[in-house]
Amino acid sequence: MNVFNQLPIWLSFQLSIIFLIGMPVTLFFWSIKKRNKAVNKLISIYWKISLLFFISLLLLIGKYKYALVITNIATLLMTISVWFWNDINDELREYDFSYCLSTVTKIWRWALTFISLNFLIQSLQNISCFSFINTVACEVWLQPSSKFYILIKNLFNFFFGANFTQPIAKFLGLSSLLIYTLGLVQWSITKFPKNGRNSYFSTNGRN
Residue 163: give the domain boundaries: 3-195
26 domain-assigned:
yes
90 domain-assigned:
yes
Residue 163: phi and psi, rounded to 5, are: -90, 130
126 domain-assigned:
yes
203 domain-assigned:
no
200 domain-assigned:
no
205 domain-assigned:
no
Residue 175: phi and psi, rounded to 5, are: -65, -45
Walk along the chain (207 residues) and give the pLDDT tens digit of each residue: 444 455 566 566 667 778 888 899 999 999 999 999 999 999 999 999 999 998 988 888 888 889 889 999 999 999 999 999 999 999 999 988 888 999 999 999 999 998 888 888 888 887 888 888 888 777 777 776 666 666 666 666 666 666 778 888 889 999 999 999 999 999 999 999 998 999 988 764 444
pLDDT at 158: 61
C-beta separation of 132 from 65 below 8 A = yes
Nearest partner of 26 among 132, 100, 128, 135, judged by Cα: 100
C-beta separation of 81 from 46 below 8 A = yes
pLDDT at 1: 47
Q: State the total domains in the chain.
A: 1
Q: How far, in Å, CA of 62 to CA of 39, rounded? A: 35
Q: How far, in Å, CA of 166 to CA of 156, rounded? A: 13
**Amino acid type, 109:** R
Handedness of CA 54, 55, 61, 65 (dihedral sign): negative
42 domain-assigned:
yes
